[in-house]
Structure 1
Amino acid sequence: MSLAEIKKSAESRMTKSLETLKVNLSKIRTGRAHAGILDHVTVDYYGSPVPVSQVANVNLIDARTINVQPWEKKMVAIVEKAIRDSDLGLNPQSMGETIRVPMPALTEERRRDLTKVVRGEGEDAKIAVRNLRREANEGLKRLVKDKEISEDDERRAQDEVQKLTDRNVAEIDKLVAQKEAEIMTV
Structure 2
Amino acid sequence: MDPETAILETEDAMEKAVEYLLHEFATVRTGKASPGLIENIDVHIHSYGSVMKLKQLAVISAPEARLLEVKVFDPSTTQDVERAIRESRLGLNPAAAGSSLRVPIPELSEERRVQMVKLVKQLAEEAKVRVRAVRKEGMDAAKKMKTDNLLTEDGQKDHEAEVQKLTDKYIKAIDEHVVAKEKEVMKV
TM interval, short-chain normalised? 0.7 to 0.9
Q: TM-score, normalising length from structure 2?
A: 0.86
Paired position in structure 2 for 1:20: 20
What's the counterpart of residue 141 of structure 1? 143
Residue in structure 2 matched with residue 41 of structure 1 by the alignment:
41
Stretches of structure 2 lacking an aligned partner (at least 5 in a row)? none
Between the aligned residues of both structures, percent identity stands at 37
Asked whether 1:127 is paired with 2:129, we answer: yes
User: Does the 8 Å contact 2:39/2:60 carry over to 1?
Assistant: no
Quick one: distance in 1 between partners of 2:49 and 2:130? 27
Query: Secondary structure of the equivalent of 2:52?
Result: strand
Deviation at 1:48, TM superposition (A): 5.1
Q: CA deviation at 1:40?
A: 2.5
1:114 alignment partner in structure 2: 116
CA shift digits 1:152-175 (9 cap, x unpaired):
322331222122112211221121
Cα distance in 2 between the residues matched to 1:61 and 1:181: 25
Aligned to 2:86: 84
Give me the whole-angstrom Cα distance separating, in 2, the residues matched to 1:115 and 1:55: 30
Provide the C-alpha distance between the structure 2 equivalents of 1:136 and 1:81, rounded to a whole number of angstroms: 44
What's the counterpart of residue 3 of structure 2?
Answer: 3
Output the aligned Cα RMSD. Answer: 2.1
Q: Per-residue CA shift, 1:129-177, capped at 9, x if unaligned?
A: 1121122222222212322223332233122212211221122112101
Q: Structure 1: where are the runs of 5+ without partners?
A: none
- Figure out how many residues of one structure are paired with residues of the other and give that number: 186
- CA shift at 1:29, angstroms? 4.5
The Cα offsets for residues 18-60 of structure 1, whole Å up to 9 and x where unpaired, read as: 2332343345342111122112212235455432111111112
